[in-house]
Amino acid sequence: MLIDQEHAEYMRTKAHPRQLGIPLSRWGRNLIACCPFHAPEETSLFFYDALGYWRYRCLQCGAEGDLVDFLMKSRFNGVDEQTARSEAFEFLGALDKDLVNNQDSEHPWVKEVGGEKSKVLECFVRYCHWAACKSPSSAKFLEARGWSIGQAQLYGLGYYSGDPEPFISYCMLSGIERHQISFYLDNLEAYHEPRITIPARNSKGFIHSVYGRLIDDNEKSHTYITYASGPTVIPFNIQADSENPIIVQGFFDALTADLAGIPGVVSTMFQELNVNHLYKLKACGAESFTVILRREEDRRNQELKIQKYLKLAEQMHMSLKSIVLPKDESVDTFVRKNGADQLIDLIANTEVDTIHSHRRSMLLQDIKENFDTAMACPPDQSVGYKLSTFPKLTKEIDGVQSGCFFVSSQPFGLKTFLLSSLTLDLIESNPNLKVIYVAYETPRRQIFDRFVSMLIGESILNVRKQNADNEINKKITEATRDLMAYVRNNRLEIWDDMPSLDFNDLLKTLSQELKDHPDLILVIDGIDHMKITDRPELPDIHEKRSSIMLDLYKALDIPIFLGGELIDSNMGLLGPRAYLRDSDAIYWLTEKDGALNLSVDSKRMGTSRVYEDKILIDPQSSRMKEA
């Protein structure tokens, strides 16, 4: 049942659980008490202010309502409903004078924040609260995250279908005009997908914004949006009188922790923590804070990020504790799996950060995670990606693992055929793998023809026009469809439109790719032709290119193959010293007397020569495989 605006206004100004005369305890941002409506009594009755006024809900027996309903059922249950309601209103009015005096003494800014805008936003939250009870899709989404509708209502979580007209009609009945909706909910008509709604309050308890979270996770854009433009520096779930707030990243991280009774948990809503967030927390009494982060793939970047937080804490004269959770873990999943007490103990047992203690704790966690990862891999399973046409190589290097590998050949042109062969083998042998092939020496159309040629074992000349043999035309058609399927399924990208390389732009692009595809390999054919715009402090162009590739590998921790030119001499392989020095391994392909030989040399795998074998090359397509 939708709640009328007049009743909500009365409840907002004249009712508080402390007037009920029952023992109350703080539980997160809510209050909790023993439920008198079922036996045996247990501490499962929540009083919450999610809709702009106080309500109650028992998570065991399901009893719910506002404070008038609570009094009618608990104190005046023996009289008729009309008398009971009148008695309940009179009981709540006993402290009206004190409440009015408190309101008169409030700062004008507080009244403004709690004025017309709050009424419109609270009306939207109440409408979405009602809609959530009627929507199977919202119940299914919340259930998948471990939430019941009853628990979600404690925090005002609701459901918005994307159609504004039913809400506008409801507002008209509540005395709110259409121009007020458009002014305060200025993004309401910009997004039409069904979303879970999440109200955000400031430290005074007034709603300053309402966020929307997509129900369909297959949608890639705008997972989180705000329906009401407002300040973005107010941490979500901020509470007054919080001396040691816990800063987490996601909405449900904060909500799950609060539901478990952990005090002072706030969220940056996936924004970077900045000094403005800390100003808001310090205004609420914060003397120290704990940052709990999800583990990032780029550990180096995460370490630098925490060092930046440490500088912010020193600037604000606050102390900091930083915790990085294990891989694929969030505060939401951690609390559900281990309970609130274990998270509280983890925070209590974590040292206050200094530059040294932070490095030590990160190092200890990395060592443990490295051990756990190693022990989780059975002895008969390759650590890296397999190569079906290079089985001996796969065995010797234990699969293609993360690293920076330089590929060259004599004669020089063969390295492109080797890179193309490895690319197709990796895609065909590893169903979840994505390869980005960057071509600096070959037009994209020629790369298409080469891949199709290798897939069907025909000459590249045969795939560039219709063939007299219909069987070959059929093979070309099927191979082209396979190639298109790899691209369509986002398993292969071919780049030839990179006239210059800006490290930060490339890192940003590949980081997003890695986020969407954890199994990612980068192949750069023709690194000698890459134009570098970074590393002006290095005079040698090869040093610049090698340093950027090395930084890219350290940041992303993925396999990177670089095709370039080396020279064989009596003294061994010669070439740009930077590549020979920085690469994890050198793949060297040579031709002698019509036979091909591939060797893999590494200084970082315990021995210099880790692999050597004869390679067969298809005389038509030039695709390579082990003899």
Tell me how many helices (H) and strands (E) the chain has. 23, 24
Report the alpha-carbon distance of residue 532 to residue 251 in Å, rounded: 40
Q: Widest CA span of the chain, in angstroms?
A: 107
What's the pLDDT at 316? 92
Reference 227, options 254, 247, 205, 207; nearest CA is: 207
Crossing angle for the helix pair 541-556 and 299-315, to the nearest 10 degrees: 80
Per-residue pLDDT tens over the stretch 182-202: 888 988 888 888 999 999 888
- Residue 213 C-beta-side C-alpha neighbours within 13 Å: 18
Residues β-bridged to residue 57: 46, 64
pLDDT less than 70: residues of the chain? 1-14, 94-114, 218-221, 355-356, 358, 604-607
Helices (H), 433-490: 444-456, 470-488
Tokens of 69: 């309903």
Give 225's DSSP letter: E
Reference 120, options 184, 46, 172, 195; nearest CA is: 184
Exposed e or buried b for every residue in 54-81, given b needs 16+ CB within 10 A? bbbbbbeeebbebbbbbbbbbbbeeeee
How many CB atoms lie under 10 A from the CB of residue 596?
Answer: 19
Q: What is the 3-state secondary structure (H, E, C) of 501-531?
A: ECHHHHHHHHHHHHHHCCCEEEEEECHHHCC
Tokens of 352: 């206050």
What's the pLDDT at 300? 72
Torsion of CA 526, 551, 499, 220, to 10 degrees: 110
SS3 label, residue 352: coil
Percent of the chain whose pLDDT exceeds 70: 92
What's the pLDDT at 107? 40
Q: Provide the residue type at 432 as one letter.
A: N
What's the pLDDT at 455? 94
**What structural domains does the chain harbor?**
1-105 (3.90.580.10), 110-231 (3.90.980.10), 246-251+258-374 (3.40.1360.10), 391-626 (3.40.50.300)
Report the alpha-carbon distance of residue 128 to residue 195 in Å, rounded: 10
Peptide bond into 40 cis (omega under 30): yes
Reference 282, options 235, 323, 327; nearest CA is: 235
What's the pLDDT at 409? 92
CB 237 within 8 A of CB 254: yes
SS3 label, residue 438: strand
What's the pLDDT at 41? 80
Residues β-bridged to residue 287: none
Question: What radius of gyration do the chain's Cα atoms show?
Answer: 32
What's the pLDDT at 360? 75
Exposed e or buried b for every residue in 434-451, given b needs 16+ CB within 10 A? bbbbbbbbbeeeebbbbb
What's the pLDDT at 369? 77
Percent of the chain whose pLDDT exceeds 90: 41
What's the pLDDT at 333? 93
Report the alpha-carbon distance of residue 482 to residue 219 in Å, rounded: 26
Peptide bond into 231 cis (omega under 30): no
Reference 289, options 308, 269, 316; nearest CA is: 316
Report the alpha-carbon distance of residue 600 to residue 609 in Å, rounded: 6
What's the pLDDT at 605? 59
SS3 label, residue 532: strand
**409: phi then psi, degrees, rounded to nearest 5:** -155, 165
